[in-house]
Amino acid sequence: MNRTELITLINRKKSFLCIGLDTDISKMPAHLKDLEDPIFEFNKAIIDSTIYLAVAYKPNLAFYECYGVKGWQSLTRTINYINNTYPGQAFTIADAKRGDIGNTSQQYARAMFDKASSGMEFDAVTVAPYMGEDSVKPFLSYPSKWIIVLALTSNKGAEDFQFFTSQDTRLFEQVLARSKQWGSDENMMYVVGATKAEMLAGIRKIVPDHFLLVPGVGAQGGSLQEVAKHGLTKDCGLLVNSSRNIIYASNGSDFAEKAREEAGRMQKEMEALLK
C-alpha cells in the first residue's frame, strides 16, 4: 500500500487507529481455547468486528513465535485472512523489530514482504536501528512496502540508550536525522511512544512529513489528545496503536463486540481530531 492509498484509507474511515494483535492464549475467552487454531479464530473475530474502524493491524511476532511452528501458522493465516478478505482495506504491520547485516536483512525482508517465499505479505515491518544503514536498506527495495524504524519507544528502558547525548543531540534524534536520508516519507515511518507525547513537537521538526506509528496510548498511559496535538500533519501522519485495551476489552463470549465498542470509541475521538 503506498502513501496516497494509506491517506485515502484514513480519510475514508475517519480513523488513524492501528489495532495491535498481541494475541495471548491465556487472556482469550475460554470458549475459543479448544478450537484447532484459537489465535487465528480470535484474530479473525477481532478483525471482522473492527475492520471499518481501524486502518491498520499490527501483529507483534513475539506472540506467535512463542508457539513455534504452530504460532507461525496462526500468523500466516491471520495476515492472509486480512489480505484475502479485505484487500486494500487495511495497512498491515509486522511488528518484528528486525535488523541484521545486509545479506541477512535481505532474508528478513523476504520473510515479511515476499509471499512467494514465506507465504506472507505485510505492508510494513518494524526495524531496530542499532546496526545502521545496511541493516535496514534491504527492506526498502520492495515497491509500496515500508519500514518503521524504532526512534523513541514507549517503555522505561527507552531511557537507557535512546537519550544518550552527543553535543545536544540525543541518540533517537540522531536516528531520525540520519536514517531519513536512507529512504523517504513514501517508504519509511518511525515508532514514537505516546508516553513521551510532549516530545513529538521536537520530533516533528526533524521529520515533518513522515508517518509516525505511536504505541502506548491506553494501557501504557499515553494520551490520544496529546499525541494528536503535537503529531498530526495535514496528511494525518499518525497511526496510533492500541492493543490490550481493545482486544481484551472483555474475556467473555462478547469479546469481539466489546472490542468493536472500544475501537469505535477511539475512532470517534480520532474523527473529531481529524476535523
Residues of this chain that interact with its own copies (CB under 8 A) are 22, 24, 60, 62-63, 65-73, 76, 95, 97-102, 104-105, 107-108, 110-111, 114, 117-120, 128-135, 150, 153-162, 164-166, 171, 174-175, 178
Min. distance of Cβ 239 from its own copies in angstroms? Answer: 17
Closest CB to its own copies among residues 155, 184: 155
Q: Which residue type, as a one-letter code, is found at position 54? A: A
- For cell 471499518, the residue is 52
Q: What number of other Cβ atoms are within 10 A of residue 200's Cβ?
A: 23
Closest CA to 233 of 205, 193, 199, 191: 205
Cell of 71: 504460532
Min. distance of Cβ 268 from its own copies in angstroms? Answer: 28
- For cell 507461525, the residue is 72
β-bridge pairing 91-98 and 56-59: parallel
Q: What number of other Cβ atoms are within 10 A of residue 100's Cβ?
A: 17
Residue 35 CA: distances (Å) to CA of 40, 60, 78, 80, 85: 10, 22, 15, 19, 21
Closest CB to its own copies among residues 153, 187: 153
Closest CB to its own copies among residues 162, 267: 162
Closest CB to its own copies among residues 101, 201: 101
Cell of 152: 523513541
Min. distance of Cβ 270 from its own copies in angstroms? Answer: 23
**Catalytic machinery residues:** 97
Min. distance of Cβ 235 from its own copies in angstroms? Answer: 28
Beta bridge partners of 45: none
Closest CB to its own copies among residues 56, 152: 152
DSSP per-residue letters across 120-154: ---SEEEE--TT-HHHHGGGGGSTT-EEEEEEE-S
| CA angle (89 as vertex; 76, 112 as ends), nearest 5 | 35
Min. distance of Cβ 187 from its own copies in angstroms? Answer: 18
